[in-house]
Amino acid sequence: MAARTVIELDSVRKAYGDGTVAVEELSLAVHEHEVLALVGPSGCGKSTTLRMVNRLVEPTSGRILLDGEDVTTTDPVALRRRIGYVIQNVGLFPHRTVEANISTVPALLGWDRKRTRARVGELLDLVGLPAATYAKRYPHELSGGERQRIGVARALATDPPVLLMDEPFGAVDPEFRRHLQTEFARIQVETGTTVVLVTHDIDEAARLGDRIAVLSRGGRLEQVASPLAVLAHPASDRVRDFIGDGSASRMLALARVQQTDLESADRIVQPAPAPVRLGARLTDAFEAVAALPGAAMGRVPVVGESGDVIGSLTADGILGALRRAADAAGADPGAAGAPGADAVRDAVEDVPGREPVV
Ligand SMILES: Nc1ncnc2c1ncn2[C@@H]1O[C@H](COP(=O)(O)OP(=O)(O)OP(=O)(O)O)[C@@H](O)[C@H]1O
């Protein structure tokens, strides 16, 4: 069954007062429960697009529908209660405690104290910051990453069906950013919230997005597809330029080890290296194969759900898996020069023990 469309942009255009065209004839549908990552170079209209959905910016022409209802005819205050909004640096109220910050919208909606307090506790648990420690703190008593998480908790307070996030992890250092991304992915799966995530970081988009929409300057939609399809088969030179190098490693992170990638377990050299699980990310399999000493002939055992060894994986198996992933994403993996195939070839080039790829 086709996913339900929650947000629909229909030929939306935004020209600012000074004549700058930020968004040009943009048509795009966001499906229920998905994370749609909106990416593109600086100034390509990502934030403008996001802010038109919750009416912080009014479109010049075109229509934006939320659950089939034209947002321009919806009361903006009522609209924003249905749409959570998280921005970089969060914008927490500095003189209010964490608890009061998260309670902002519930208070506007007239929730009683008991219900609000229970909800604050739930949300703090959800973002991994226990109420006993954090509820009474002020924003200046939190780290940047903690503030960011409170921003997410605040945006989710009334369980909005839609969450708009504008560079939500932009202000934190790379290592913690990764951690927040993992947390966010977990929370999104748990809540099922439909999310539009603006980022200029293709890795973040590939990691978190169910689909990626790539915009180019002037707010033109270049491609909207799954992360693998975008990485393996960029629709235009502008998309290819934006993705830049490194798409093989991103594809490794997105594809999984499947039964068809395996060879027999017979040739595993003893003592056997630590196994990889069927269904593991190719990144993990790649790292396991790359770490093998030469004597192991570049072969790791693969275990099934029961923990039994069901086969072995080599660098060529990983290459095959990447080609399959590229294939499934729409590229022609066999074609010389197909971006997926080239990227894959480069990715496995230095793995010890692999046969040369002909
Ligand atoms: N209020 C405004 N008045 C005039 N031009 C604006 C205004 N806001 C944004 N713009 C312009 O519209 C274009 C799109 O801006 P927008 O902020 O939507 O891009 P973006 O893709 O989110 O950029 P970034 O990644 O740098 O945040 C830019 O050229 C910007 O200068």
> What number is the average pLDDT over the span 321-344?
57
More confident residue, 318 or 91: 318
Q: Mutation test of ligand 1: which of 21, 24, 48, 167 has the most ligand atoms closer than 8 Å to its C-beta?
A: 48
Higher pLDDT, 298 or 37: 37
pLDDT above 50: residue 336: no
Residue 8 has pLDDT above 90, yes or no: yes
- pLDDT grade, residue 51 (50/70/90)? very high
Who's near 347: CB < 8 A, 6+ residues apart? 248, 249, 251, 252, 286, 322
Angle between helices 247-254 and 339-348 (to 10 degrees): 90
33-37, 53-57, 148-152: range with lowest mean pLDDT: 148-152
**Residue 117 CB neighbours (<10 A):** 16
Distance CA 298, CA 344 (A): 17
Residue 15 CA to ligand 1 centre (angstroms):
10
Residues 60-83 have pLDDT tens digits of 999 999 999 999 888 888 887 789
pLDDT exceeds cutoff 60 at 277: yes
In this prediction, residues 19-47 reach a mean pLDDT of: 94
Q: Report the C-alpha gap between 53 and 64 in whole angstroms.
A: 7
State residue 124's pLDDT score.
Answer: 92
Q: Are strands 276-277 and 299-303 parallel, antiparallel or unpaired?
A: parallel
Structure tokens at 318: 């990983």
Ligand 1 atom closest to residue 23's alpha carbon, by position in its atom list: 14
**Please, how many CA atoms are within 13 Å of residue 140, restricted to the half-sphere of its CB?**
3
The mean per-residue pLDDT over the stretch 110-116 comes to: 90
pLDDT tops 90 at residue 177: no
Can you give the pLDDT at residue 90? 65
341 pLDDT exceeds 80?
no
How many other C-beta atoms can be found within 10 angstroms of the C-beta atom of residue 190?
9
- Pocket residues: Cβ below 6 A from ligand 1: 16, 18, 20, 22, 40, 42-48, 200
Predicted structure pTM score? 0.79
What CA–CA distance (Å, rounded) separates 106 from 122?
Answer: 14
Mean pLDDT calculated for residue range 249-275: 86
- What's the gap in Å between 48 CA and the centre of ligand 1? 6
Percent of the chain with pLDDT over 70: 89
Tell me the best of 14, 24, 38, 47 to mutate to test the pocket of ligand 1, counting ligand atoms within 8 Å of each CB and taking the most.
47
Q: What is the pLDDT of residue 324?
A: 81
Mean pLDDT of 96-122: 89
Buried (b) or exposed (e) across 15-28, using 16+ Cβ within 10 A? eeeeeebbbbbbeb
Q: What is the DSSP letter of 147?
A: H
Full strand arrangement of the beta sheet holding 83-87: 83-87, 162-166, 194-198, 35-39, 211-216, 220-225
> Which residue has a Cα nearest atom 12 of ligand 1?
22
Q: Is the confidence at residue 337, as pLDDT, over 60?
A: no
Instruction: Tell me whether residue 264 is exposed, middle or buried, using C-beta atoms within 10 angstroms of its C-beta: 0 to 12, 13 to 18, 19 or more.
Output: exposed
- Residue with the smallest CA separation from ligand 1 atom 16 is 45
pLDDT reported for residue 297: 59
Burial zone of 90 (CB within 10 Å; 0-12 exposed, 13-18 middle, 19+ buried) = buried
Which residue, by CA, sits nearest to atom 13 of ligand 1? Answer: 22
Q: C-alpha angle 93/182/204, rounded to 5°?
A: 85
pLDDT winner (highest mean) among 160-169, 287-296, 331-340: 160-169
Residue type, 262: L
The pLDDT value recorded for residue 89 is 67
Ligand 1: centre distance to CA 245 (Å): 26
Cα separation of 312 and 123, whole Å? Answer: 43
Instruction: For 188-247, write each residue's pLDDT tens digit.
Output: 888 899 999 999 888 889 889 999 999 998 899 999 998 888 888 899 999 999 988 777
Q: Which residues are CB-contacts of 118 (< 8 A; sequence separation ≥ 6)?
A: none
Nearest CA to 168 out of 190, 152, 192, 188 is that of 152
One-letter identity of residue 144: G
Average pLDDT of the segment spanning 258-262:
91
Give pLDDT, residue 223.
96
Per-residue pLDDT, 321: 85
136: left (phi over 0), alpha (psi -120 to 50) or beta: alpha
